[in-house]
Structure 1
Amino acid sequence: MAFQSMEEIMQQCKNKQISFAEAIIQDDCQDRNVTSEETRARMYQIWDAMLLASATYEKNLHSKSGLVGGDGGKMEKYCMEQESLCGSFMGSVITQALQMGESNACMKRIVAAPTAGSCGVLPAVLIPYFKSSGCSIDLILDALFVSAGIGQVIAERAFISGAAGGCQAEVGSASAMAAGAMAAVKGGSPDQISHAAAIALKNMLGLVCDPVAGLVEVPCVKRNVAGAVNAMASADMALAGIKSAIPADQVIDAMREVGEKMDVSLRETGRGGLANTPIGQKEAKHIRSLEVH
C-alpha cells in the first residue's frame, strides 16, 4: 500500500467518489498487481482464520508460564448466567478479546492485527457484530480493508511495535483500526471513519509496554479488552457526529513523538511499569526457575 496519510485516503475517496474500503482495495490491486477478486479472496482467508481462532478457543488451556488462561471461559460463563454491566453485546466483545489474547499466549493460531500482542482487538468487535447482526461477509471484508488502510498509515507515520513505541503502538493501533472498521460497518463516511480512528488512538496515547517476565501475557491480554471497548465507544462517538479536535494524521504523529520519548524500560523490555512491581518480579523469577528446570 502506498498511502502515507489518512488525509490522502479521504481525498482519494472524494476524488473518485468511492468508499474508504474501495480506496484501499484499489491501492492494493495496483501495488500487488492483483484483481479485486484476488485481494478480496486473500482478505477472506484472514477473516476465516479469525473465525477459526475464535471457534477453537480452549477454556481449560493455560500458557506455559501459567500467567494466563481460562479468563475467556469465565467471562463467557458470566455473560451467559447474568446480564453484564456493559450489556450482552459488549459482554461478547470482552469475552472475545480475552479468548483471542489467551489463545495467542497459548501458542494457538491467531491473526496479527496489527501484531500478535494486539490480536484480540479487531476480531473482538467484528466477530460478535457479524454473529449478532446477520450482516454479509462482504461488509466484514470491507471493514477489514478499512482497518488495513488505517494500520498501514500508522505503520508508515509511526510504528506498530511495542518495542518501538510502547503498547500505544500495538493495542492503541489495533483499537484505532477496530474503531474505523466498526464505523465502516455501520455505514460511516470516510470522514467519520477517520475521526473514529483518531479518537480511539488519542485515548491510548502514552500506554506503555511493560510485560511481566517479558511475555505477551500480563497485562497484554486484558489490554486487548480495553482496546476493543475503546474502539466501540470511539466508533459510536464518530457515528454520532462527534469529531476529534486533532486530525487523525496528527494524532498518529503525536503517538510517534510520545513513543520516541518513552523510556526504554517501558518499551517491551520487561524492566519497568507492571513488570517491575514486586509481584511482577516474583512472577518473572518463578518463570525463570521453570525454564532452568
Structure 2
Amino acid sequence: MTFTNGQELITLCKEKNLKIYEVMIQKEMELTGLSEAEIKNKLKISLDIMKQAVERGLTEDIKSVSGLIGGDAKKITERNDKTRSVCGSLMSKAISRSMAVLEVNAAMGRIVAAPTAGSSGIVPGTLLTIAEEFSLDDERLVEGLLTASGVGFIISRNATVAGAEGGCQAETGSAAAMAAAAIVEMMGGTPEAALHGAAACLKNVLGLVCDPIAGLVEAPCEKRNAIGAANALISAEMALAGVESIIPFDEVVDAMYRVGRTLPFELRESAIGGLAGTPTGQRIKKEILGE
C-alpha cells in the first residue's frame, strides 16, 4: 500500500476498490506489523483523548497559562443552548468544540496534535459533531481518523504542517483538509470527493500567516481553529454535493508549500509580524514576558 501523493492514493483506491481509510489501515498493518484490531484500539485511545479535551474545554473554567484565552468555547455553547445560532446548531457545536480543545492545550492539558498542537481542535471539533448529529458510532469515527491521517501524510510528505515553515495555512489549513476528507468518507463520499474537499480547504486559506501573540499558541490560534472547523464543514459539504476543485489536490498542496516558503520570516510563527506586531500585540507580549 505504497503511495506518495493524492493521485497515487486515488489510483490505489480504484485498483483495490477501497476507501482511503481502508488503504490507511492496510498501510499501517504493513508498516507496524500490528493487526487491524490493534491499530484501531490505538486510534480509540486518541479518540478518547479528543473527547475528553472537548468535554473539559466546554465544562470547566479553563484559563491558559498566560491568561490570554479561556472560557470562549463555553460562551459559544451557552449561546447555542439559549438562542437560535446565526450559523446553525451543527456549525456552532463544531466551532465551540474546536475552540475548547485549543483552550485545553493552552492550559497545558492533554490533547491530540492533529496534525499540530496549534491546529488540534479542528479534527475533533468537526468529527465529533458530525458523529453526534448523524448518529455515527466510534467505529466510523476511527475510520474518519484514518482518512484524515492519509491526507495528513500526503501534506507532510510533500509540503509541511508547520507554521514556522509554511504559516498558519500549513497548520489550520492542513487540519481542515484532513477533517474535510474524513467527513466526506464518513458521510459516504468517494475517495476522489474526499480529496476535492481537502483541496478546497487549503485553497480557502492559501497564504494565511502564522502570527501568535507573544509567541504563544493561544491567540489568534483559537479563533483560527474555529474558522478551520467551519472551513472543513463547508468544503466537505461542497465535495459531497459533487463540487470539484479545479486545481488537483496535489497541485494545491504544492502551491501551499511554495506560498508558505515565500512568506517573510516575520509571518511564520516568529511573533514579530501580523497581529503579533501590532501595538496591542506588542503590549501584551511585554506584559506576559515581563519586559
Q: Provide TM-score, normalisation by structure 2.
A: 0.97
Aligned to 2:30: 30
Aligned to 2:197: 196
Matched, 1:83 2:84: yes
Aligned to 1:230: 231
C-alpha separation between the residues in 2 aligned to 1:42 and 1:11?
Answer: 28
Which is further off, 184-193 or 128-137? Answer: 128-137
Which is further off, 130-139 or 94-103? Answer: 130-139
Aligned to 2:250: 249
Are the counterparts in 2 of residues 183 and 193 from structure 1 also a CA contact under 8 Å?
yes
Q: Deviations over 1:172-213 (max 9, x none)?
A: 000100110111111000110010000111111101000000
C-alpha separation between the residues in 1 aligned to 2:44 and 2:275?
Answer: 38
Aligned to 2:182: 181
Mind listing any 5+ residue stretches in structure 2 that lack a counterpart?
none
C-alpha separation between the residues in 1 aligned to 2:159 and 2:134?
Answer: 34
Paired residue secondary structure (2:217): coil
C-alpha separation between the residues in 1 aligned to 2:268 and 2:4?
Answer: 25
Give the CA deviation at 1:151.
0.2
Aligned to 1:21: 21
Matched, 1:263 2:240: no
C-alpha separation between the residues in 1 aligned to 2:227 and 2:24?
Answer: 27
Q: One-letter code of the match for 1:101?
A: L
Match runs of 1:138-217 below 5 Å: 138-217=139-218
Give the CA deviation at 1:132.
2.5
Are the counterparts in 2 of residues 166 and 207 from structure 1 also a CA contact under 8 Å?
yes
Matched, 1:47 2:34: no
Q: What stretches of structure 1 move > 4 A for 4+ residues in a row?
A: none
Q: One-letter code of the match for 2:8?
A: E
Q: One-letter code of the match for 2:214?
A: A
Q: One-letter code of the match for 2:220?
A: P
Give the CA deviation at 1:283.
0.3
Aligned to 1:92: 93
Are the counterparts in 2 of residues 121 and 175 from structure 1 also a CA contact under 8 Å?
yes
Aligned to 2:120: 119
Query: When the two structures are aligned, how many residues end up with a matched partner?
Result: 290
CA RMSD of aligned residues (A): 1.2
Matched, 1:3 2:6: no
C-alpha separation between the residues in 2 aligned to 1:262 and 1:53?
Answer: 33
Give the CA deviation at 1:48.
1.1
Give the CA deviation at 1:3.
2.9
Give the CA deviation at 1:74.
0.8
C-alpha separation between the residues in 2 aligned to 1:88 and 1:138?
Answer: 24
C-alpha separation between the residues in 2 aligned to 1:288 and 1:19?
Answer: 49
Are the counterparts in 1 of residues 98 and 124 from structure 2 also a CA contact under 8 Å?
yes
Give the CA deviation at 1:59.
4.1
C-alpha separation between the residues in 1 aligned to 2:46 and 2:95?
Answer: 21
Q: One-letter code of the match for 1:234?
A: S
Matched, 1:274 2:266: no
Give the CA deviation at 1:56.
2.1
Paired residue secondary structure (1:170): helix
Paired residue secondary structure (2:67): coil
Give the CA deviation at 1:131.
2.1
C-alpha separation between the residues in 2 aligned to 1:37 and 1:190?
Answer: 23
Give the CA deviation at 1:2.
4.9
C-alpha separation between the residues in 1 aligned to 2:17 and 2:56?
Answer: 41
Give the CA deviation at 1:82.
0.3
Q: One-letter code of the match for 2:253?
A: I
Are the counterparts in 2 of residues 59 and 71 from structure 1 also a CA contact under 8 Å?
no
Give the CA deviation at 1:259.
0.8
Are the counterparts in 2 of residues 114 and 174 from structure 1 also a CA contact under 8 Å?
yes
C-alpha separation between the residues in 2 aligned to 1:129 and 1:281?
Answer: 39
Aligned to 2:67: 66
Are the counterparts in 2 of residues 96 and 123 from structure 1 also a CA contact under 8 Å?
yes
Mind listing any 5+ residue stretches in structure 1 that lack a counterpart?
none
